[in-house]
């Protein structure tokens, strides 16, 4: 039975599903695909939407002879007389449907970002029109330069949007997982209030950084065409952003050391913030 013409209704998903992780994510999987399918993802450490979308085959692990998979195999597979296993078609179909649904949600999210990017670009059009006016002075080169710039601009825009979406999701996922560990009560980080993401591209080189609300920037590293921020960077952005938004008069000591020292833990940083709060009182 072909599923090519099935209509995917992403309205059944929570609006912020792309930022879900751990129990929040597994509850959605259980509701849409089933409890056994949710356990299959959990046992493999697939704990978020983007982790799931980047996993090639969630069923391949069932080929292993492992006691931890025994109960899951009984629920998801048929066991033949020769003790071999075959995945139930319904279970495979449920995972395929979940994948397409979440992928469609991601595509819709990308389109929204694209529209937002275009609106911002249009609002800045008077400033951007000046270089085009200057280039038009040389009529012999205007056509080739314009075409070349258009190709570069399109490619740069797509790359920026992909990096932007990925980093926002990674930051939200990290904060959802560790917000209790770093002892903050704010439910989520808010872009342009708690932090800002900067991506600069000239067609060949790309740089990205995240700035917290206090103005301190943390540079992102690039690995295999993808920007990433290590745990210490996530911790620093989360702590300074939340502390700054909760009380702008609080001073976080040794911020330079926090950025430079890879050995400083979030516990030490958190104690420093709590100590400043007690002193202020």
Residue 201 phi, psi dihedral angles, 5° rounding: -140, 140
Q: Which candidate, 165, 179, 29, 31, places its Cα nearest to that of 110?
A: 165
Give percent above pLDDT 70 in the chain: 54
Predicted local distance difference test score (pLDDT) of residue 80: 87
**What pLDDT, in 10s, does the model give residues 175-216?**
777 666 666 655 666 777 777 777 776 656 777 777 776 667
Selection from 8, 7, 5, 2 nearest residue 105 by Cα? 8
For 86, the token pair is 């075959």
Q: Which residues contact 6 (CB under 8 A, 6 or more apart)?
A: none
pLDDT in tens, 96-140: 999 999 999 999 999 988 888 888 877 776 555 555 444 445 554
């Amino acid at each position: 039975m072909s599923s090519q013409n099935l209509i995917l209704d992403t309205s059944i998903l929570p609006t912020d599903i792309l930022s879900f992780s751990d129990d929040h994510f597994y509850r959605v999987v259980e509701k849409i695909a089933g409890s056994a399918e949710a356990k299959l993802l959990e046992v493999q450490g697939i704990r978020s939407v983007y982790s799931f979308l980047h996993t090639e085959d969630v069923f391949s692990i069932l080929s292993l002879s492992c006691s931890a998979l025994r109960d899951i195999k009984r629920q998801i597979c048929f066991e033949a007389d020769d003790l071999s296993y075959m995945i139930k078609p319904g279970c495979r179909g449920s995972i395929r449907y979940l994948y397409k649904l979440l992928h469609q949600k991601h595509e819709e999210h990308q389109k929204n970002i694209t529209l937002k990017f275009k609106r911002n670009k249009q609002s800045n059009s008077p400033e951007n029109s000046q270089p085009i006016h200057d280039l038009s002075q040389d009529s012999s080169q205007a056509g080739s330069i314009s075409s070349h710039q258009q190709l570069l601009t399109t490619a740069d825009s797509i790359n920026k949007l992909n990096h932007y979406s990925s980093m926002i999701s990674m930051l939200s996922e990290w904060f959802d997982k560790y917000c209790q560990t770093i002892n903050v009560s704010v439910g989520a980080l808010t872009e342009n209030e708690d932090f800002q993401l900067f991506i600069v591209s000239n067609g060949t080189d790309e740089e990205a950084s995240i700035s917290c609300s206090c103005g301190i920037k943390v540079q992102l590293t690039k690995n295999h065409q993808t920007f990433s921020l290590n745990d210490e960077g996530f911790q620093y952005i989360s702590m300074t952003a939340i502390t700054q938004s909760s009380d702008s008069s609080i001073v976080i000591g040794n911020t330079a050391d926090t950025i430079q020292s890879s050995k400083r833990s979030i516990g030490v940083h958190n104690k420093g913030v709590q100590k400043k709060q007690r002193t202020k009182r």
